[in-house]
Structure 1
């Protein structure tokens, strides 16, 4: 499969690798705050580090129809214990309206 637009190395899922471990950070209940979610959803540049020996850092703006937009639609590694806090912050995300 060929990706002429070059999006294959980019993701719509936020993952926090700041701990520099084998796995990304797992968010616990005490981590879940309005500020955390606001910070994740306000990221407008996608940072990619190549997996080759050069480990080149590539930064691209996240665009939709030519307009800069938040990069991430999803976030990974929220432990099951976080669900109550997430639902308190965003109770309408599961409504069927």
Structure 2
């Protein structure tokens, strides 16, 4: 998994250990090093333009968007959904509304 260099990823070691994956950090201002992430940001922008004030977006509305995106097949994932790929090797399946 590739992260940007933000503070919210300071616990990446725990995440890496828990999910048994390798983690990497993109170079600053090199968004192409996180291609799938940037693509996902574009999908979110279809629902919420850059000027959106997320302080007024209802949590349940945003969760609907997240659910739609996570259950949308992606060519880069051999037409599987991010949900399917993430939980394919997991013993636990998350709630699927």
What TM-score do the two structures reach when normalised by structure 1? 0.29
More strand by share: 1
Give me the TM-score of the superposition, normalised by structure 2.
Answer: 0.29
RCO higher in structure (CA 8 A, sep ≥6): 1
> Could you say which structure has the larger radius of gyration?
1
